[in-house]
Structure 1
Amino acid sequence: MSSAAQTPTPESPADSLLPESQRPARVATADDDHGHVDVIDTREGYFAAIEQIRAGHGPISIDAERASGYRYSQRAYLIQIFRRGSGVFLFDPPAIGSFSELNDVIRDEEWIFHAASQDLACLREVDLDPTRIFDTELGARIAGMPRVGLGAVVEELLGIHLAKEHSAADWSTRPLPQSWLVYAALDVELLVDLRDAMYVVLAEQEKIEIAEEEFDATLRKESKPPRPEPWRRTSGLSTLRGQRALGLVRELWEARDAYAREVDTAPGRLLPDASIIAAVRANPTTKRELGGQKDFVGRASRTELARWWAALERGRATSDLPSLRGPSTDQLPPPRSWIDRAPEADARYKAARPKLQNMAEAMSIPVENLLTPDHLRRVAWDVPEVVDAEHIGEALRRQGAREWQIRFTAPVIAQAFVEAGQSSPETPGSDSSV
């Protein structure tokens, strides 16, 4: 197993004559500059790696590669770990199984991620579950960096250009190409240095406590419950009319989902949403007619034609048709409709938004990180009986806002709501742009 970190390309003599600010970034590339990388795919190799990781020191940098867009599942197909004094380790999760023994060794160390929310679920599936994290992507947002992708942040803070050509690859491929493995190794080899540089930036901006609250919230955030009718997210659904058409979409979507789960393939690769909509719109009268549609495409559009035809027949025969409006949810109406439906809420919302935007700019934090947009919408729609910082703060806390967010935004929102209440709400028909 290679433990060699990336090797930057040396400066040319001409580059060395330039001022530091004008020199091109050093380049980390997936080529011969990096040592050979192997994948650990046996329990014996896994236990040997645990001992090497145990002997290292400092935090654990970690990343996971999935096969989104290729596979039905969101499982990890490669897990990368780096620790100073230990090196880099690439594991094959389907071959290893549970990582509980490794988790026992590293659980209480700080784990460094870039965009932890994308990886925590698939790591927990294999029994890797941290107790504290540092998220360099989230840290970059809080620091007000203009670009927060790993490559951009590495280049900004470490002066290294990190190639990202394999980010959308099918990581369920076996064997994995060496260039992909080097790419994956570099992602974690740089994270510890990136974490240290990010910490300095956050400390200089006096945002360490804010960042730590955000990291903890990411770690403890609960998974969203499944949507009650996920088929309603079919792209193009709004172009169809009538309950029967919705019933046909539902049957095709559910047939596709069941088959995709069975063969562990992304549903859209088997039968794209556009094909489902096209079939429902054409309403073919025979299986042969369905198979003859030019816009009915996809990897399984013909090989599983009997499956799709059976779904259409079920949709035509059922009396259990879906409602046109969909299941009831606690989703608010879009703010653009508030001026007619709830003019006082509209006035509160419009008064508070620019104030929060100004605060976000002053703090160099994206406004969506200063306060989740839905939190402002909900407190404007269902305002507390007493409009002051304390009661607004309580309402935000119930929605899941962090304490630092409440501390900064509750007084501003309360003031904006009071000012909105002192003015007459806009009359219906006036400008409702937000």
Structure 2
Amino acid sequence: MDPPGEKSEQEPPEEPVAPAPMLRLREPLPDVVDTDAGLRETSAAVAAGTGPVAIDAERASGYRYSSRAYLIQLRREGSGTHLVDPIGLSTLAPLQEVLDGTEWIVHAATQDLPCLAEVGLVPTTLFDTELAGRLLGYPRVGLATLVETLLGQRLAKEHSAVDWSTRPLPRPWLEYAALDVEVLAELRELLGSELAESGKDDWARQEFEWVRGFEPVPRVDPWRRTSGVHRVRGRRALGAVRALWETRDEIARERDVTPGRILPDSAIVAAATAMPGDRRSLLRTQGFHGRGAARYAARWVEVLREVAEMPEEELPTRSPRGDGPPVPRAWAEKDPVAARRLTLARDAVSALSGELAVPAENLLTPDHLRRLLWAPPATRDPEALAAAADRQLERYGARPWQRELTVPLLVEAIITADEAPPDDSDPA
């Protein structure tokens, strides 16, 4: 209660913060280009523009097996925005000819470059706004977040997971797609200036050049990533997971449908655990469901029977043989010195990450770090070790700026770990 004659001072209520305005198209939505004649006109219009070209692609992830581009968006100063449907075109060579030698502005280039290369579009130089944001230490680097943070506008993302193989494409989807390239040039200017001011522009150039040549690495034993496979017991059940996964993948590729729409992972695990021997038992297996459960039941039963008769030596083991180091949690038991190296190096790289405001995984790819520390060069002469470690990381694909910053830390970790008392085993 307030003392007599005195009135409590209350803080005035905070004014609600108005949301940032929605990003809108500056010009009317262009028609979709889906003929060779239209592409030639578009290519001429892009050629008449100036400066870099913002480019994006939409795939039908979650719907189609392939990762092909179903829509390509381009925007260039003086040319405006263009929407290209590559599906019905005989070639995109006229567009590639125009883009040759021109900087591309992309967001998350590793996602779009493979599908663009598939239709003959390959950059000679690029600027990746997502990667620039990472190097600058932005905590969230999605396109919508960067647009709101740097430009003060909101970018709608409600159509990000739609089926872009749909024809005709609805107008709201096309507006969403066009907005993805609307402000990439402005983002590039702001992020480029920040990179230069922070002294990270050369790092960015090296990263962009590496991204330009990026090619996805095929996974070894991709079936091992089946969700729930850790619950499967025994080599024969693992063999059933492998056989069902590979059969599902073959069907999905033939139909160009994402595999999960044929048969979910949970159904594969359920069938592999139960190992039913006939169609009726299979379809009664608890957890076995999906659009292709009954439709392809004969094929599922066939592969399960093949696995049931397979010799033990042909069945997969729980832990696959690999050319890389073991998982970090096993290092302390397998090689305590290597475990100490890993702990020291991780701590040092983490500290440098905070100092430079660059994510640790961008300072050095975690796989490169683990490979070097599990099997480092034999020498312990600091200079010779540094030179050998630099060459080893270069072979793995580490860029010069990464090696310059991290090799001294890794050399110190290797030497310090060797000098630690034999009974000192830090957990990795």
How many Å separate the matches in 2 of 1:97 and 1:64?
A: 18
4+ residue stretches of structure 1 with deviation over 4 A? Answer: none
How many Å separate the matches in 2 of 1:38 and 1:211?
A: 35
Counterparts of residues 375-386 of structure 1 (less than 5 Å): 375-386=368-379
Matched-pair contact (CA < 8 Å) for 1:244–1:321? no
How many Å separate the matches in 2 of 1:233 and 1:322?
A: 17
Matched-pair contact (CA < 8 Å) for 1:67–1:169? yes
Counterparts of residues 178-189 of structure 1 (less than 5 Å): 178-189=171-182
- The aligned residue for residue 249 of structure 1 is 241
| Structure 2 counterpart of 1:25, from 10, 20, 26 | 20
How many Å separate the matches in 1 of 2:394 and 2:201?
A: 21
1:176 matches 2:169: yes
- The aligned residue for residue 87 of structure 1 is 80
Kindly state the Cα deviation for residue 29 of structure 1 after the two structures are TM-superposed: 5.1
May I ask how many residue pairs the two structures share in their alignment?
409
Matched-pair contact (CA < 8 Å) for 1:339–1:426? no
| Structure 2 counterpart of 1:417, from 392, 402, 414 | 414
| Structure 2 counterpart of 1:212, from 198, 205, 217 | 205
Kindly state the Cα deviation for residue 368 of structure 1 after the two structures are TM-superposed: 0.6
Matched-pair contact (CA < 8 Å) for 1:347–1:425? no
Matched-pair contact (CA < 8 Å) for 1:60–1:112? yes
1:403 matches 2:389: no
1:333 matches 2:333: no
Matched-pair contact (CA < 8 Å) for 1:37–1:182? no
Q: What per-residue deviation string (whole Å, max 9, x for no partner) do you get for residues 19-78 of structure 1?
A: 9xx774232158xx8633421111111111111111111101100111111101011111
| Structure 2 counterpart of 1:133, from 126, 135, 139 | 126
State the secondary structure of the residue aligned to 1:63.
Answer: strand
Deviates more, 1:390-399 or 1:218-227: 218-227
Kindly state the Cα deviation for residue 294 of structure 1 after the two structures are TM-superposed: 4.4
Structure 1: runs of 5+ lacking an equivalent:
1-17
Counterparts of residues 107-118 of structure 1 (less than 5 Å): 107-118=100-111
How many Å separate the matches in 1 of 2:241 and 2:233?
A: 11
Matched-pair contact (CA < 8 Å) for 1:37–1:178? no
Q: TM-score, normalised by structure 1?
A: 0.89
Q: What per-residue deviation string (whole Å, max 9, x for no partner) do you get for residues 362-409 of structure 1?
A: 111001101111222111111112343322222211211110011111
State the secondary structure of the residue aligned to 1:26.
Answer: coil
- The aligned residue for residue 261 of structure 1 is 253
State the secondary structure of the residue aligned to 1:147.
Answer: coil
- The aligned residue for residue 138 of structure 2 is 145
Deviates more, 1:291-300 or 1:125-134: 291-300
State the secondary structure of the residue aligned to 1:119.
Answer: helix
Kindly state the Cα deviation for residue 233 of structure 1 after the two structures are TM-superposed: 2.2
Deviates more, 1:127-136 or 1:297-306: 297-306
- The aligned residue for residue 311 of structure 1 is 303
1:242 counterpart letter in structure 2: G
How many Å separate the matches in 2 of 1:361 and 1:425?
A: 31
Matched-pair contact (CA < 8 Å) for 1:37–1:181? no
Matched-pair contact (CA < 8 Å) for 1:132–1:219? yes
State the secondary structure of the residue aligned to 1:76.
Answer: coil
Matched-pair contact (CA < 8 Å) for 2:277–2:305? no
Kindly state the Cα deviation for residue 234 of structure 1 after the two structures are TM-superposed: 1.8
- Taking a change above 3 Å as real, the CA distance of residues 332 and 362 of structure 1, as seen in their structure-2 partners, is same
| Structure 2 counterpart of 1:390, from 375, 387, 392 | 387
State the secondary structure of the residue aligned to 2:291.
Answer: coil
How many Å separate the matches in 2 of 1:240 and 1:287?
A: 21
Matched-pair contact (CA < 8 Å) for 2:226–2:265? yes
| Structure 2 counterpart of 1:371, from 364, 370, 387 | 364
- Taking a change above 3 Å as real, the CA distance of residues 325 and 240 of structure 1, as seen in their structure-2 partners, is closer
- The aligned residue for residue 236 of structure 1 is 228
1:62 matches 2:55: yes
State the secondary structure of the residue aligned to 2:266.
Answer: helix
Matched-pair contact (CA < 8 Å) for 1:53–1:86? yes
Kindly state the Cα deviation for residue 328 of structure 1 after the two structures are TM-superposed: 2.4
RMSD: 2.0
State the secondary structure of the residue aligned to 2:56.
Answer: strand
Q: What per-residue deviation string (whole Å, max 9, x for no partner) do you get for residues 189-237 of structure 1?
A: 111111111111111111110101000011123431452x322222222
Kindly state the Cα deviation for residue 325 of structure 1 after the two structures are TM-superposed: 4.2
How many Å separate the matches in 2 of 1:282 and 1:386?
A: 53
- Taking a change above 3 Å as real, the CA distance of residues 409 and 100 of structure 1, as seen in their structure-2 partners, is same
How many Å separate the matches in 2 of 1:426 and 1:177?
A: 67
How many Å separate the matches in 1 of 2:159 and 2:143?
A: 13
State the secondary structure of the residue aligned to 1:89.
Answer: strand
State the secondary structure of the residue aligned to 1:405.
Answer: helix
State the secondary structure of the residue aligned to 1:285.
Answer: coil
Q: TM-score, normalised by structure 2?
A: 0.91
Task: Name the % identity.
Answer: 47
2:217 counterpart letter in structure 1: K
Deviates more, 1:303-312 or 1:184-193: 303-312
Deviates more, 1:62-71 or 1:329-338: 329-338
- The aligned residue for residue 191 of structure 2 is 198
Kindly state the Cα deviation for residue 151 of structure 1 after the two structures are TM-superposed: 0.4
- The aligned residue for residue 13 of structure 1 is none
Q: What per-residue deviation string (whole Å, max 9, x for no partner) do you get for residues 168-189 of structure 1?
A: 1111111111111011001011
